[in-house]
Structure 1
């Protein structure tokens, strides 16, 4: 006889999803009437569901007057929690409904700029070739990969060494200084002026995760420029590139990630120098996932792109 050893949950009184939906909608609109209209229920039904929820919780979620309702402090806290719960239910349900029993979901995490400017383009026709593999791609601005993330493959920048991970090198990073043509003309920049230390009046755009990037760029050329740490700071290369396109200053970005703009002429290289980054871009995956069919398919796809 098989015995289920899974510990039982000690708390069995849970509110129904209907009650939670009624509360969330009423809290969002601060109106039982508007909640009733959105959920296609009567106002009294909404009010009754919320009242039963308050009775079960033994706490008031709303202040009620003759003309309006407002959330109590406990109601505000509960609203945020319920909203998160309902979103998880929605995602889980739509994910389950979006694929058949034969479909595999390949969970991918990638740095945002690498995702939009390299990964998405190389995945063209992937779905046509592999219709039974559904891609779930998340963007992550942080430079780290957390091992407890439920991810099959990660596209990362670093040294290629992550605990419990196998890594395939994609390409090295070479950063160049770029700006829009109008900014270049307005500032009459040249490498001679830079070498003479006369390029200090321009605006240098920064990436939050690379605070010393400009300093290292100039140091590699044995050039001393004051004010290399001054200028607008952005979370991603994507927004930094956008700022350069709109004439906000000069961006120091990986050359490979701005190839389309350079070819189109919407961005131009300011100085004829490319700085070598400390790391490179990699595709990494847990050692335990390496033999999975969906993982092997993506590895082969990326390798074919790199050939």
Structure 2
């Protein structure tokens, strides 16, 4: 390896002296290493002249290939060193809408504060079974969470939104009979609770038009933005869309979401350094300590 390094540096500089300066050895040592390599290969790599060096045909062919090999070795060393600095891996299972509209916009603050933690986001769905390869999950629901340690994080209000053009048809809640009501599969009670809070009479409810059903809030919000109808969504999911005019909220009425978001994990994970850092960060983002429950 020393002989190969000596030849590569000498070929790049076309000088034993400059190669010696780069490698931190004597000129004689570089010359000796190159001679050893030439003897091993059975061919000359340099023509040695009084006024300098000149690569032979064999040397000209070997030098760039060898340089490429050393560059690759250096790259592998840097990659291995970088991987070695990541000492903790945290895998978070989370619904895709909460991930894209709440967690990911905040995630840069976590990674900046904890560069030694490799965080992996697994969007398995809001109600998918817990994957045992995950460190933890953020789930929407109600306690108890059988078999998990659960931390209640926060809840959100439900707000009605639709495309601005659709909102022109809605002067009062009863006007919802004019458009489709988009629904989310895992949140079947959102609309009934909003109707009750709005005080809509039974004859109006009978005229309401149920719209398509979507697996996730994010899909329903896309449909609403495209003019398919109105949807009830959690406030944090729509704040940016409302701010930029992509969606609008035609009525001030909101209702609290009964379900809350919980951070759940299997018992025994409490001392996991990545999970502990993530829990502390979540509490700081939310602004209050999480309510911790051991659920059997």
Shared fold per TM-score greater than 0.5? yes
**2-structure distance, mates of 1:142, 1:256:** 16
For residue 283 of structure 1, what is the aligned residue in structure 2? 263
TM-score relative to the length of structure 2? 0.63
SS of match in other structure, 1:199? helix
**2-structure distance, mates of 1:296, 1:180:** 41
For residue 179 of structure 1, what is the aligned residue in structure 2? 162
The answer (yes or no) to whether the contact 2:85–2:116 under 8 Å persists in 1 is no
For residue 158 of structure 1, what is the aligned residue in structure 2? 141
- Which structure 2 residues correspond to residues 39-188 of structure 1 after superposition, within 5 A? 99-100=83-84, 103-146=87-130, 149-185=132-168, 187=169
SS of match in other structure, 2:183? strand
Cα RMSD (Å) of the superposition?
Answer: 2.3
For residue 225 of structure 2, what is the aligned residue in structure 1? 245
- The alpha-carbon deviation at position 138 of structure 1 amounts to 0.5
Cα gap change, 1:122/1:277 in structure 2, threshold over 3 Å: closer, same or farther? same
Moved over 6 A (4+): none
Match of 1:254 among 212, 219, 234: 234
SS of match in other structure, 2:149? strand
- The alpha-carbon deviation at position 253 of structure 1 amounts to 0.5
TM-score relative to the length of structure 1? 0.61
SS of match in other structure, 2:251? strand
Match of 1:211 among 188, 191, 202: 188
For residue 212 of structure 2, what is the aligned residue in structure 1? 232
Unaligned runs of 5+ in 2: 1-79, 288-296
More helix by share: 2
Unaligned runs of 5+ in 1: 1-95
Aligned residues: 205
Look at both structures and tell me which one has the larger radius of gyration over its CA atoms: 2
**2-structure distance, mates of 1:166, 1:306:** 19
**2-structure distance, mates of 1:261, 1:98:** 38
SS of match in other structure, 1:170? strand
**2-structure distance, mates of 1:97, 1:211:** 50
**1-structure distance, mates of 2:228, 2:209:** 16
For residue 200 of structure 1, what is the aligned residue in structure 2? 177
**1-structure distance, mates of 2:252, 2:111:** 40
Cα gap change, 1:109/1:143 in structure 2, threshold over 3 Å: closer, same or farther? same
The answer (yes or no) to whether the contact 2:150–2:264 under 8 Å persists in 1 is yes
